[in-house]
Structure 1
Amino acid sequence: MKKIHLLLLKSFIRPFLVTLFIVMFVLLMLFLFKYIDDLIGKGFAWYTILELMMYNSATNVQMALPLSILLSTIMTYGALGENYELVAIKAAGISLKRAMYPMIVIITILSVAAFFFSDYMLPVANLKYYSLLYDARKQKSADLLPEGVFSTSFPGYTIRVKRKDPDGQRLYDIMIYQKSLNGDNNNTVILAREGTMFRTMGDKYLVLRLKDGVRYEETASENATYNTRQRLLRQRFKETETKFDLSGFKLARTNESEFKTASQMMNIRQLRHYLDSSQHSVDSNVMVNYKLVTPYIKYYSIPTQSKAIKNYKTFDPKKDAFQGLSLSEQQMSLSSAASEIRSIKDVIKNRSDRYKGDSENIRRYFVEYQKKYNLSVACLVLFLIGAPLGSIIRKGGLGLPVVVSVVFFLIYYIITTIGEKSVKGGDINKYLGMWISIITLLPIGLFLSYKAATDSALFDMEIYKRFINRVTAKFKAKATRHTH
């Protein structure tokens, strides 16, 4: 029995590692295709890109792990069925359920590990990934002086280079506008026929070595009072150097504490604390809303009838509500009522907008809270689908198992995404929306497990052909009887 268990484990571990690597690689390529324009050409160090890819790979585990488990289990049991090893196991008197015990143990361990990963490591990876990606996307381009464009990359300067060599070091027809100290006017202009560009040690400065040019500068005269452009200086040069500060082009990291309040950056304990405190705040605000609206509601007490007054004017609800009031009193009543209504609407609208925002935040954090558990259960359910499906299909390798696993994973992913969006929008019950994919796929897994345990030829096309032939034969027989 131990040899059979070792056979199953060895048959599973290799496809699992291979499929996990392939899925992670595909998801990483999708990340690069999506953000390639935000990363290329900004002068990042190689380890910055590598760090970003590593954090992205960690965030992709929650998608890659269920798909890898589904695909590897279909491949494992499909290969065992294709090589008649499952037949030999059943011939030895070992049922499929008993043969699946070691696999169930391994998948359970992976599910528990996925839970701890999503609770402890994933929030940290999300924090590192999103903060670094945010800083990388807002980083300035490393192409400081593009051809034929007035570049304002350096504060206080506007530079245009008409043409550059392919290596990007030699420049031609250079024009530099330098603003004054107050930043109002371009008081200095430098024109050069050609020049070279290089960086100093440590990339602290960019140096432009200009040749064959002229410098124009407008300054104020000694006794200038209101006009600051009374003196023009012109200086020709054979060679000169201009230095620009590059400190603004280095990757500036934002403080990670600014991202910690996002739902993806929290573990279960933090999410539970936020949900409890937010729900308590919403409930208390409801009581505050009642206290704010109550002063606008006026109650009038009707005095008892006096014995001295013989005739009382009765109010007829069928008539106008302003009966008995003069025109000025009616106008005053309408104006007062409209003013109070506007005040109540303003109070309710502000409180309503706040309530909607708090409710949306609660639903968003609830989604992240449930996803911690959903990942582990999804691994078990997809294994429950993959193992019997592989034994029924009896095909190993990367052919039919890949197609079947992708179809089931797409069903799982689409239903999960729709459920999450419905929960965030408040269109469905929170628990039903978060677990609807599990509720949908679990019966399918149980049905496939039953069919595999009873050696059902669920995907045997010959059975369906014979069934179709019998049905068509019956229809033909009925048609011939009606003709006769």
Structure 2
Amino acid sequence: MILFKYILKNHVGPFFFAVFTLFAVFLLQFLMKFADRLIGKGLSLVVIVKLIVYNLAWMVVLVIPMSILVATLMAFGSMAQNNEIAIMKASGVSLYKMMLTPILVSIIIGYLLIQFNNHVYPDANHAARLLMEDISRKKPTLSLVPGVFSQEIPSYSILVRDVNQQQNEIKDITIYDFSSQSKTNIVTAKYGKIYFIPSQKKIIMDLYNGEIHQSDNFYPENYKRLKFIRDKIALPADQFTFEQSTPGGPRYDRELGAHDMLILVDSLNSIKQRRLTELKKAINEMLENKLSNNNSNKINIEKYSLAFQNLQADKNRINSMLNNIEYLNRQMDSYWVEIHKKYSIPFACIVFVLIGAPIGTMIRKGGFGIASGISLIFFLIYWAFLIGGEKLADRDLLSPFWGMWSANVVFLLFGIYLTIKTARERVELNFNFLTKLVPKNWRFAQNEIENS
């Protein structure tokens, strides 16, 4: 029992360190990818934090299995480097017993990750999509450039000659108002101020010493000219304000749990069966009509023309049914892919222990650099399998099961082979062959440093 606790203790530190590091990497990648969509829109810190928190969900799905692989490599590599693995084997403790605790813990983590994938991940994805759509609809705050017409406000064109950004003052203003279909207003003013009302719903232009020219679009002879000392114009500012949508509306496959998607798959399958029944009925009707036409003794051009038209109509009808069935198949495949993915990725936690433990024993290095490098290679291969399988399954070239589970099957067999081979004999894996790629003068300098 003490031995198992010791092995588990060696995993805890590297696991949380890997989780923190990988989260930082994924978070930096996310911010770099979406920075252009967030900067310059006047979003509050609360909104940005919400967006990051919602997107942490998909990061958890990737980070946890990879962190288990890194932690296993570091823990077993460190114990092998300190000859603890050799001492345990000499004491009668096999590699299988050493791996028992990490495997049991990985099963628990995998189960928790399944629950996360079915209950937290879909809601977080849905909230993230809605928030991102709300952000994308929000335009930057109104920016007036001296001497350039601004058309950021619908139905208005604004020209100013001078802008004081600190005081929100503008000079020599011209405003074309096309908000009314029957009338066009042109407002000019010597100077004024611009500001938002507290609710951010309207932009107020407080103008001084100006004129309003009003013309009728249907009766050009009706023209009015008004002078004012002070006038206020309220302009719509909905596109400059941020409003978060309430949860609801349609959800896509990555925004649903496995149970909900199974219900949808069952409904789609029922529709598919009805379409197949209708297709069989249509084909039978075509055959009956063809036989009745062939049995008729009267032959004329009009009859053949009508038969040809009916044949074309039946052909279009059957093609439409076949396209609809193909669409239903693709929809069901996409849902099945997501269902299997919710279980295949958590299962990778167990697979990575079977791979990490023997490789960590072989390399006899417990550093984060080597562990993260090897983990990255394996995870890239695993992810390539997963993405390739998903694409093939979505195109109905591969079953959704094998598309999502082929990586686990291959890695599981490879991990079992490595585990058995390492348990039966002492195998050491080194990377000395990489030193041949280093120039000789660099190797000589390194040797001098080590000897000194």
The normalised TM-score by structure 2 is: 0.86
Q: Is the contact made by 2:340 and 2:400 (CA closer than 8 Å) also made in structure 1?
A: no
Q: After superposition, where does 1:279-358 map in structure 2 within 5 Å?
A: 279-297=269-287, 298=289, 299-300=291-292, 329-358=299-328
Asked if 1:207 corresponds to 2:201, the answer is no
Asked if 1:361 corresponds to 2:331, the answer is yes
Asked if 1:7 corresponds to 2:6, the answer is yes
- Provide closer, same or farther for how the CA distance between residues 296 and 78 of structure 1 changes in structure 2, counting only shifts above 3 A: same
Asked if 1:118 corresponds to 2:117, the answer is yes
* Aligned AA (2:7): L
Deviates more, 1:159-168 or 1:267-276: 159-168
Query: 1:416-454, CA deviations, whole angstroms, 9 ceiling, x for partnerless residues?
Result: 100011000111133222211112211221122123323
Once residues 165 and 15 of structure 1 are traced to their aligned partners in structure 2, the CA distance between those partners, rounded to angstroms, is 56
Shift of 1:50: 0.7
Report SS of the residue matched to 1:256.
coil
Asked if 1:270 corresponds to 2:260, the answer is yes
Q: Is the contact made by 1:158 and 1:177 (CA closer than 8 Å) also made in structure 2?
A: yes
Q: After superposition, where does 1:54-65 map in structure 2 within 5 Å?
A: 54-65=53-64
Report SS of the residue matched to 1:190.
strand
Report SS of the residue matched to 1:187.
strand
Asked if 1:419 corresponds to 2:389, the answer is yes
1:186 equivalent in structure 2: 184
2:212 equivalent in structure 1: 216
* Aligned AA (1:43): G
Q: Is the contact made by 2:42 and 2:140 (CA closer than 8 Å) also made in structure 1?
A: yes
Aligned-pair identity (%): 26
Shift of 1:372: 1.5
Shift of 1:344: 0.9
Once residues 142 and 71 of structure 2 are traced to their aligned partners in structure 1, the CA distance between those partners, rounded to angstroms, is 46
2:413 equivalent in structure 1: 443
* Aligned AA (2:195): F
* Aligned AA (1:207): I
Asked if 1:258 corresponds to 2:256, the answer is no
1:318 equivalent in structure 2: none
C-alpha RMSD over aligned residues: 2.9
Once residues 139 and 293 of structure 1 are traced to their aligned partners in structure 2, the CA distance between those partners, rounded to angstroms, is 53
For structure 1, which runs of at least 5 residues remain unmatched after alignment? 304-321, 466-484
Q: Is the contact made by 2:57 and 2:121 (CA closer than 8 Å) also made in structure 1?
A: yes
Shift of 1:183: 3.2
2:158 equivalent in structure 1: 159
* Aligned AA (2:253): S
Q: Is the contact made by 1:42 and 1:143 (CA closer than 8 Å) also made in structure 2?
A: no
Shift of 1:57: 0.4
Query: 1:260-314, CA deviations, whole angstroms, 9 ceiling, x for partnerless residues?
Result: 3x211221221111111211210121011122343333224999xxxxxxxxxxx
- Provide closer, same or farther for how the CA distance between residues 265 and 147 of structure 1 changes in structure 2, counting only shifts above 3 A: farther
Report SS of the residue matched to 2:120.
helix
Shift of 1:173: 4.8
Shift of 1:240: 5.0
Shift of 1:185: 5.0
Deviates more, 1:132-141 or 1:451-460: 451-460
Shift of 1:228: 4.2
Q: Is the contact made by 2:125 and 2:254 (CA closer than 8 Å) also made in structure 1?
A: yes
2:33 equivalent in structure 1: 34
Once residues 312 and 337 of structure 2 are traced to their aligned partners in structure 1, the CA distance between those partners, rounded to angstroms, is 37
- Provide closer, same or farther for how the CA distance between residues 353 and 215 of structure 1 changes in structure 2, counting only shifts above 3 A: farther
For structure 2, which runs of at least 5 residues remain unmatched after alignment? 436-452
Q: After superposition, where does 1:105-144 map in structure 2 within 5 Å?
A: 105-144=104-143
- Provide closer, same or farther for how the CA distance between residues 89 and 456 of structure 1 changes in structure 2, counting only shifts above 3 A: closer
Once residues 233 and 360 of structure 2 are traced to their aligned partners in structure 1, the CA distance between those partners, rounded to angstroms, is 70
2:443 equivalent in structure 1: none
Shift of 1:410: 0.1
Shift of 1:339: 0.2
Shift of 1:25: 2.2
Deviates more, 1:267-276 or 1:449-458: 449-458
Query: 1:179-210, CA deviations, whole angstroms, 9 ceiling, x for partnerless residues?
Result: 25x33553223244x54433333434333344
Shift of 1:170: 4.2
Q: Pick the aligned partner of 2:227 from 222, 229, 235.
A: 235
Q: Pick the aligned partner of 1:393 from 363, 375, 395.
A: 363
Shift of 1:5: 2.1
Once residues 72 and 175 of structure 1 are traced to their aligned partners in structure 2, the CA distance between those partners, rounded to angstroms, is 66
Report SS of the residue matched to 1:244.
strand
Q: Is the contact made by 2:172 and 2:188 (CA closer than 8 Å) also made in structure 1?
A: no
- Provide closer, same or farther for how the CA distance between residues 452 and 162 of structure 1 changes in structure 2, counting only shifts above 3 A: farther
1:468 equivalent in structure 2: none
Once residues 406 and 61 of structure 1 are traced to their aligned partners in structure 2, the CA distance between those partners, rounded to angstroms, is 16
- Provide closer, same or farther for how the CA distance between residues 24 and 226 of structure 1 changes in structure 2, counting only shifts above 3 A: closer
Once residues 259 and 114 of structure 1 are traced to their aligned partners in structure 2, the CA distance between those partners, rounded to angstroms, is 25
Larger Rg: 1
Query: 1:55-99, CA deviations, whole angstroms, 9 ceiling, x for partnerless residues?
Result: 000122111211111112112212222232323333333222212
Once residues 164 and 369 of structure 1 are traced to their aligned partners in structure 2, the CA distance between those partners, rounded to angstroms, is 57
* Aligned AA (1:217): H
